[in-house]
Structure 1
Amino acid sequence: MMGKDLILKTLQHEPVEGIPWVPFAGAHAGILKGYTAKEVLLDGDKLYESLMEVKKMYTPDGMPVMFDLQIEAEIMGCELLWAEDNPPSVVAHPYAGEKVTPGKSKIPKKSDGRIPMTLDVMRRLKTEIGEEVALYGLVCGPVTLASHIRGSEFFMDIIKDQKYAAALVEFCAEVCMAMSDYYIEAGMDVIGVVDPIISQISPKAIEKLFLNPFTAIFDHIKSRGALNSFFVCGDATIQLEVMCKTHTDSISVDENVNIYEAKKITDKYGIVIGGNIPLTTVMLFGNQQDNMKYVVDMLDNISHDHLIVSPGCDMPYSVPVENTIACVQAVKHTDDVREMIKNYEAVDESIDVDLPDYSNLERPLVEAFTLDSATCAACTYMVKSAMLAKEAYGDKVDVREYKYTIKADIARTRKMGVEHLPSLYINGELKWSSLIPSREELLSALEPLIK
């Protein structure tokens, strides 16, 4: 069975022999050909060349073409900060400071921004490998897009002006549907709606304000003859139930979610689940045996129906090629790999770190524990929220970010006992876990501590 058939039949709940494998090699694809992340996200020829190398090296059953959640935001006026080893991040928001609900004229057109380049690469891949591999077209989800164009004020809108927040997300859902149409016309088999910010919104707010827009998106994709997937990052455990009500074909989660428990929920709704090989501790910093062991252990402890194996999200740029190949082998040749690693025990390479003396700090300390604010949208807005403390109090408060892409920060995160990312601590005490505080909430918690 071709890899494409394995993906499509799995998403359609048809019997299959084997488990589908989808490497989310976004910017990471560039490293296979010696290109920077910026090069592959701006140059169609380099992107195409890199993706063909993904096909060759990682033998995917399905693969995304462009993993960049800022394409739509850039067209709509967001200022981007580019990096050599990450997708760009949004640093300025066109509707910050004023409540604007854009009209239909603001919906991106095929000729706008980087859309023509993306469509061209999609068509070329469809012609070259489209019979063998299921191609994924990824669109920025409506809640994340709303946060991009509105900024951190969007989270306060959800609390204080729900009518406006709902209207803004409804507009962003129209953008999603338009982008989905472009990608389906270019030959994409699966449309992935990537909305990491969903993990930061309460299930009640999602159901009340955003369920209808999401349902409209997935129904629209199905009406166009394509399959779909709902991508989320961060600890979306409490959001999974409402996500399953959106008519999506599949949900993809990262390492913050217990995939064994999550699958019980998705199975109840007849939805395929994908994930969740840890991006940093295993794929980036582990070795081949670590990657093999993680995949084999997962496959040995989970039912194989309605399952797609993949990294937890967009793979870090510098993931060693041999680690991803190890994952491929574990998925495609599980019995052989299980025998290879039966006596393997991971080496403890943890770093000893010293925590601050929180009871004797000179100033209040706000600590943001993130996956990486440069690549994770939810983490970006958690750090921006933390920085509001600096705006308000200046040198009277200290703010730090610890990233799960840095070994020393991983050690610190573990020593602190941080369970979910992103999380925000004040003076060593957990204040917000996977929920972004408003400016008022943050300053209210800090005010009694300011000297």
Structure 2
Amino acid sequence: MSDKQLLMSVLQHQKGFARAPWVPFAGVHAGSLCGYDANEILHDADKLVEALMSVNTYYHPDGQPVIFDLQLEAEALGCELYWDEGGKVPPTVRTHPFENEKKIPCRCMIPKEEDGRFPIVLKAMRKMKELVSEHTALYGLICGPFTLASHLRGQMLFMDMYDDADYVHKLIAFCKEVCASVAQMYLQNGMDIIGYVDPLLSQISSEHIEMFLLDAYAELFQHLKTCHVPSCLFVCGDATANLEVLCRMKPDCLSVDENVCMKDALAVCRKYDVVLGGNIQLTITMLHGSSQDNMKAVIDIIEQCEGTDDLIISPGCDMPFDVPVENGIACYQAVTDYENVKTALQYYDPEQTFDDVEIELLHYDDLQRPIVEVFTLDSRTCAACTYTMNMVKEAYHRQSDAFDYIEYMYVDKASIARCRKMNVEHLPCIYVNGNCIWSSRIPTVDEFLSTIKKIGGK
């Protein structure tokens, strides 16, 4: 059985294989393997293919995405993007076309093959299919309908869910049609697996998911089943409370990040015959850890899940640009040679404790007004983190005299040490005066400002 066949068999809910499939989510990180930055590989099909082939060569994936860019659809629909000059992160959405006026786009706006950067992506898909189709399954990743709706409507979408459910239903319905159309486009260009990436699903309630998204996703996944195409749903953040409703959508695979306990998630997934993917820590382990740390992370996931049935090993989300290549290779080795690696690690001692990073906490009792500390994975790359920060910035724009704020990004060692010292459990989260107020949930601007007012200052 080839590596690709193993992955496809697991996604078809077959069991009893000697190992779990290995799927490294190397988006812009792929560029780092051959000297290209994010902006280069996301604008040049030839450079993108070269980078993807480096991933294939170094990490020997059973499956790999061709692109991990949740702004692709939004850009084709009229959102302006911000491209980071450092070239280490994908673009972020800068403008939201329906932010100031509730509109529902007409079907003629659904992106076509010639729109935006789709020609670059489709060319890369066809070339990768030609190069690796015998041994590697290719993922076509698509921005999910809720995150896409937030790109179009902006922060106001979270208020709309309470104030105008009819509009949200209509906007989600349009975004679902975009997802279905892009999926068909990707299938026609050689993709083996379709994955919907909807990070913001961890930031809303199960009730809102059931109200606005359950039927839309069930329809998307059912269509893929009738086409005999495996499907995946990717969600970031602490999605623990929403696992049940996400599985009821009936994807073939649910991928979660490091905020979710794999053992608990797998128990829910098995109730609905859903494969679980995840969830190697992106920063502490993959970016800042050693090869041994990464091997141990894989071993721990497999042991936590009590075996490899119904399991795909992967990073919790899109790998950071600067992940050392040896760490990705270490994960592959642990997946494919589990017993020997486990034996080799029997005297493992974690090298990276961050105890050497000195952190001084703020003197909250001395502040003249509340200080808002926002802990994010990286608001330049994580959609849930981006919208959390955008909400804080919008609130500050409205009432800049009410509070101060600062962001701590988990890609930074000092921020990791601060998270540990302040007992931060989930990302993104918002602390006010040293106390966690919102964890893996994005409040509305009005709710945020009302809370700040109640807390007050000296």
Partner SS, residue 23 of structure 2? coil
Residues in 1 aligned to 2:260 and 2:222: alpha-carbon distance in whole angstroms: 26
Task: State whether structure 2 residue 193 is matched by structure 1 residue 174.
Answer: no
Identity %: 50
1:9-37 residue CA offsets vs partner (Å, 9 max, x unmatched) = 00111243321000000000001100001
Partner SS, residue 86 of structure 1? coil
Residues in 1 aligned to 2:391 and 2:420: alpha-carbon distance in whole angstroms: 23
Look up the match of 1:36: 37
Deviation at 1:450, TM superposition (A): 6.0
After TM superposition, the structure 1 = structure 2 runs for residues 234-383 of structure 1, keeping only pairs within 5 Å, are 234-302=237-305, 303-347=307-351, 348-350=353-355, 351-383=357-389
After TM superposition, the structure 1 = structure 2 runs for residues 97-112 of structure 1, keeping only pairs within 5 Å, are 97-112=100-115
Contact 2:68 2:318 in 1 (8 A): yes
Q: Relative to structure 2, which stretch is displaced further, 352-361 or 376-385?
A: 352-361
Deviation at 1:393, TM superposition (A): 2.2
Q: Relative to structure 2, which stretch is displaced further, 22-31 or 292-301?
A: 292-301
Deviation at 1:193, TM superposition (A): 0.3
Look up the match of 2:433: 427
Structure 1 residue identity aligned to 2:389: V
Structure 1 residue identity aligned to 2:72: I
Residues in 2 aligned to 1:103 and 1:54: alpha-carbon distance in whole angstroms: 39
1:381-405 residue CA offsets vs partner (Å, 9 max, x unmatched) = 1011111232122244211111111
Residues in 1 aligned to 2:369 and 2:437: alpha-carbon distance in whole angstroms: 17
After TM superposition, the structure 1 = structure 2 runs for residues 103-182 of structure 1, keeping only pairs within 5 Å, are 103-182=106-185
Task: State whether structure 2 residue 408 is matched by structure 1 residue 407.
Answer: no
Report the RMSD for the aligned CA atoms in angstroms: 1.1
Structure 1 residue identity aligned to 2:250: H
Contact 1:389 1:397 in 2 (8 A): no
Partner SS, residue 359 of structure 1? helix
Task: State whether structure 2 residue 189 is matched by structure 1 residue 186.
Answer: yes
Residues in 1 aligned to 2:438 and 2:391: alpha-carbon distance in whole angstroms: 11
Q: Relative to structure 2, which stretch is displaced further, 42-51 or 301-310?
A: 301-310
Contact 2:80 2:95 in 1 (8 A): yes
Structure 1 residue identity aligned to 2:258: E
Contact 2:60 2:332 in 1 (8 A): yes
Contact 2:368 2:457 in 1 (8 A): no
Contact 2:429 2:441 in 1 (8 A): yes
Contact 2:232 2:255 in 1 (8 A): yes
Residues in 1 aligned to 2:169 and 2:365: alpha-carbon distance in whole angstroms: 42
Look up the match of 1:199: 202
Look up the match of 1:45: 46
Residues in 1 aligned to 2:54 and 2:435: alpha-carbon distance in whole angstroms: 46
Residues in 2 aligned to 1:88 and 1:265: alpha-carbon distance in whole angstroms: 34
Structure 1 residue identity aligned to 2:445: R
Deviation at 1:306, TM superposition (A): 0.7
Contact 2:4 2:63 in 1 (8 A): yes
Residues in 1 aligned to 2:252 and 2:342: alpha-carbon distance in whole angstroms: 31
Deviation at 1:297, TM superposition (A): 2.0
Contact 2:140 2:191 in 1 (8 A): yes
1:348-402 residue CA offsets vs partner (Å, 9 max, x unmatched) = 3332311111121122111111111000000001011111232122244211111
Give the TM-score taking structure 2 as reference length.
Answer: 0.97
Residues in 2 aligned to 1:446 and 1:265: alpha-carbon distance in whole angstroms: 37
Look up the match of 2:55: 54
Look up the match of 1:445: 451
Deviation at 1:47, TM superposition (A): 0.3
Look up the match of 1:385: 391
Look up the match of 1:79: 80
Contact 1:177 1:221 in 2 (8 A): no
Partner SS, residue 309 of structure 2? coil
Structure 2 residue identity aligned to 1:45: D
Residues in 2 aligned to 1:134 and 1:367: alpha-carbon distance in whole angstroms: 41
Residues in 1 aligned to 2:431 and 2:96: alpha-carbon distance in whole angstroms: 26
Look up the match of 1:226: 229
Residues in 2 aligned to 1:125 and 1:267: alpha-carbon distance in whole angstroms: 33
Partner SS, residue 150 of structure 2? helix
Residues in 1 aligned to 2:388 and 2:132: alpha-carbon distance in whole angstroms: 39
Deviation at 1:300, TM superposition (A): 2.3
Quickly say closer, same or farther: Cα 1:25–1:110, change in 2 above 3 A: same
Contact 2:250 2:272 in 1 (8 A): no
Look up the match of 2:4: 4
Partner SS, residue 42 of structure 1? coil
Structure 2 residue identity aligned to 1:60: P
Q: Relative to structure 2, which stretch is displaced further, 391-400 or 375-384?
A: 391-400
1:192-235 residue CA offsets vs partner (Å, 9 max, x unmatched) = 10000000110011111211111111112222331110000100
Deviation at 1:116, TM superposition (A): 1.2
Partner SS, residue 394 of structure 1? coil
Residues in 2 aligned to 1:450 and 1:144: alpha-carbon distance in whole angstroms: 35
Structure 2 residue identity aligned to 1:233: C
